[in-house]
Amino acid sequence: MSVVSLKKTLRTFADPKKAEVLKGFFKTGKGYYGEGDIFIGVTVPHTRSVAKEYRKLSLAEVKKVLYSKIHEERLCAVLMLVDKFQKADVHEKKEIFNFYIKHIKQINNWDLVDLSAPKIVGEYLLDKPKGILYKFARSHNLWEKRVSIISTFTFIRNDQYKDTLKIAEILMNDTHDLIHKAVGWMLRELGKRSVGTEKIFLKKFKTKMPRTMLRYAIERFPEKERKMYLRG
Distance linking the first and last C-alpha atoms of the chain:
57
Predicted pLDDT at 1: 80
Which residues of the chain register pLDDT less than 70? 232
> How much is the pLDDT for 32?
86
| Rg (the chain; Cα; Å) | 19
- Residue 158 has a CB neighbour count (10 Å cut-off) of 13
What single DSSP character describes residue 7? H
CA distance 173 to 180: 9
Query: Whole-model pTM?
Result: 0.93
Q: Which residues contact 63 (CB under 8 A, 6 or more apart)?
A: 77, 99, 103
CA angle (42, 92, 77) in 5-degree steps? 15
CB 88 within 8 A of CB 70: no
Q: What sign does the dihedral 21-189-133-97 (CA atoms) show? A: negative
Cross-strand bridge partners of residue 38: 70
Per-residue pLDDT, 29: 82
What percentage of residues in the chain have a pLDDT greater than 90? 93
Q: What is the pLDDT of residue 138?
A: 97
- The confidence score (pLDDT) of residue 50 equals 97
Say what the pLDDT of residue 30 is: 86
Residue 231's pLDDT is what?
Answer: 85
123 with 153: CB under 8 angstroms?
Answer: no
pLDDT, tens digit (0-9, with 9 covering 90-100), for 13-36: 999 999 999 998 898 888 888 888
Q: How do residues 103-126 score in pLDDT, each as one tens digit? A: 999 999 999 999 999 999 999 999
